[in-house]
Structure 1
Amino acid sequence: MHKRIILAATAAVLSTSVFAQTKPEETEVWSPVPKVVTPGKVAADAPNDAVILFDGKDLSQWESVNNPGQPATWKVADKILTVSKTAGNIQTKRTFTDYQLHIEYRIPANITGTGQARGNSGIFLAGIGPGDAGYELQVLDNYNNATYVNGQAGSLYKQTAPLVNACKKPGEWQAYDVIWTAPRFNDDGSVKSPARVTVIHNGVLVQNNTELQGPTRYIGKASYDKAAHGPSPIKLQAHGDKSEPLSFRNIWVREL
């Protein structure tokens, strides 16, 4: 009996210590720094069984995150989708469980700022609530721009740094190819199997069947403390930094 009490008390202390974190810096990791590799050229046309999420014409597959059901209002011109930081995040109207995703992005050639304030955006592989709630694959300019490694491009934000830095120069189109396996939950809400993700950045493997510890958190460590969730939309982030907005194109997904 005494042993059970001690174990319960220890678990309570550990749980409290996790949620007592109050500064984002407490979950920043700065080393080891991923090796820089030079990627090859990127080309990925959608296969015939893909769901086309952005074909360069309109945002008919997307809606506002802040106002679900309302149209997404990012700018579409010249077959390119450009982030509107005043409009907030956007998300797919469809929901997905396990999938293969292809998405291309471009950091402006005239990008300014440093660290996290340089071409910041994110792809939420499963958006599970309002705003920035979900599982984030980081988008950032890390071509000669240092930041904490679990927050650089190719990272699962605040969780796992990329295996290498495969960023191209600002002004060049880059691509993510993602294999996403959603978490599964038992009837009581406990985790049956965690989320897993493989990410290829510009043709280079940067996340190899990586296990996530839970949805993304800016402050504190990730954990599966929220209610179980099912099929979810994919979100694109309109980050609040002051650098020039980046653009996306050729977005498609294959349900698995």
Structure 2
Amino acid sequence: MSRPLVAVVGRRAAQVPILRFSATLAAEAICEAVWAGGGEPVVLHGPAADPLTEMPRRLARFDGVLLPGGADVEPRRYGAEPAPETTGVVAFQDEFDLGVIRAVIDLDMPALAICRGMQILNVALGGTLIQHVVETDTVHHNAIHQVHVKRGTRLHGIVGTQSIDVSSYHHQAVDRLAPGLVVCALAADGVIEAVEHRRADVVAVQWHPEDRHADSITDAALFADLVDRARKRKESSR
């Protein structure tokens, strides 16, 4: 049986060199994780001339979608002025990702969103972001830390436990939750660590499951779950 095709949304180079470096490493690790989970990763790039109205057509050949991490989301997209800490904004990337998310929901495609992917999912559906998370002695969001998973959520069914260690490096986070999303995991300081869509087949996490320095078993389960959902879509479309 052929592997289900998973579109890994490509990333344009941010203006901040370290973001370009980290995005490249993350893309490689994500593609490897999708492959290890049984899927066929295909990077989806967007030339500037590509009309976003074509996104449903472009995604139609795929069985699942993965939105990885990346640069900060432009604050004006959720009605805020940029804070001094907001960096590396790439306008076209925002447009491209928003087009992907809208098409994913319209087509009811299986999707996993990671870090920036979760943030722009929230923005796309009408939510807002914290532009700069204040670090505390309780949680460091640029290191391995513990996350509490809510029972009864889809995420709990995937990882099979209420407490997991995750590897994250971010300074923005979900503020006002968008309609249609449900919180399924929190950090000890109250930062939202994972959400899922009430109707669409979308799960999103704030941490980086492709970074296997924390809990590799539960992180691998996220990719395996995405591939499993994509495989079911592939089989049902025959």
TM-score (norm 1): 0.29
Q: Which has the higher contact order (CA 8 A, sep 6+)?
A: 1
TM-score (norm 2): 0.31
Give the helix-richer structure, 1 or 2: 2
